[in-house]
Copies of this chain bind each other. A is one copy, B any other.
């Protein structure tokens, strides 16, 4: 297990990327972090009071929540991003884990033990999943899903200076249209056969 990398997951809205990340972490026996858990980790970490307070303030404003949920607030707050980035780097220092979202691939780009994954699926698949799994309601579900993606892309493109969804920025990109089991199996295999050390 010593070669298991730090795994970051970026994902299209409705692709099941979060569920895939959770299953993957469980099957590999490593910690799973999403936005909420990154904030929790901050509290338990050795970060300064100042940093933790900042992070808690962030959580209580509608700004970052809106940012994460896809509301209209732009431009982004670089300071907030720096706080989160520090937490993500600390989490990764502790060992192999799965981190969903938060531009973690970009934040951790200097690491040699990094497997950056992008999860996507056709629009119709994601619209259906948004209806069924998330129980979302919208007049035009495909438009709703596209808008969510647009916000994720804005967030990512702003902070990373990369292009969200471009295969070339990820070590592995996989469609979830063939099922969650298939996606988990392929990423798990990649993690277990990871040679490390290329970057």
Contacts and interface: CB of A to CB of B under 8 A. Distances in A.
A174 B165 CA distance: 13
B168 A120 contact: yes
Q: 6 closest Cβ contacts across the A-B interface?
A: A167-B173, A167-B167, A173-B173, A189-B189, A178-B198, A177-B198
Interface string A163-178: 0011110111111011
B171 A172 contact: no
Interface stretch (A43-51, A67-75, A89-97, A180-188): A180-188
A36 B172 CA distance: 29
Interface residues of A, number: 28
Nearest to A121: B168
Interface string A6-35: 000000100000000000000000000000
10 contacts: A118-B173, A166-B167, A167-B167, A167-B170, A171-B178, A172-B174, A177-B198, A181-B195, A185-B189, A186-B193
B179 A195 contact: yes
Contacts of A81: none
A174 B171 contact: yes
Contacts of A171: 174-175, 177-178
For A118, A171, A177, A196, the residue with the greatest tally of chain B CB atoms inside 10 Å of its CB is A171
Interface in A150-169: 165-168
Given A172-B173, A182-B195, 11 more contacts: A118-B173, A120-B168, A166-B167, A167-B167, A170-B173, A171-B177, A173-B173, A177-B198, A177-B199, A179-B198, A182-B194
Nearest to A187: B186
A7 to B, nearest CB: 13
Contacts of A167: 118, 120, 165-167, 170, 173
